[in-house]
Amino acid sequence: MAKYRRGRINEEMVKELSSILREIKDPRVSDAFVSVTAADVTPDLKFAKIYYSVMSGDTKEVGKGLKSASGYIRKRLAETLNLRQTPELSFVTDDSIAYGAHINSLLNKIEFTEIAEDEEQTNE
């Protein structure tokens, strides 16, 4: 399968999953703010890793809720995506958003000094 087709399928899965997650009635998932960050489908379209991040709530409980709702999610994906096979879903936590926020806070703490002006004066 062409690589660009897998990329399009991954993008469509992320888009559809984000809307499907809003419909889930499991309180572990519905009470937490869950966002799908990426999807990675295998070339044979049998398996898919879904990367998600949790802004509020317990990450482990959300993972359990997503695992228990994976049958429903897969069924909804089969209805919306026109694929020959609907991949089996495995959910993986993605901490990149929290990591990026941490790096941003560290960068905001850096104090800039007048070193550049002092170096220019000494070079003259």
The answer to whether the CB of 22 falls within 8 A of the CB of 47 is: no
CA distances from 90 to 30, 38, 40, 52, 69 (A): 19, 12, 10, 11, 11
Q: Between β-strands 34-41 and 47-54, what pairing exists: parallel, antiparallel or unpaired?
A: antiparallel
CATH number belonging to the domain at 3-95, selected among 3.30.300.20, 3.30.9.10, 1.10.150.120, 3.30.70.360: 3.30.300.20
CA distance linking residue 115 with residue 41, whole number of Å: 50
Annotated domain spans of the chain: 3-95
Helix (H, G, I), strand (E, B) or coil at 98: helix
- pTM score, whole prediction: 0.76
Name the residue type at position 9: I
**Model confidence at 35: pLDDT above 80:** yes
User: Band of the pLDDT at 31, cuts 50, 70, 90?
Assistant: confident
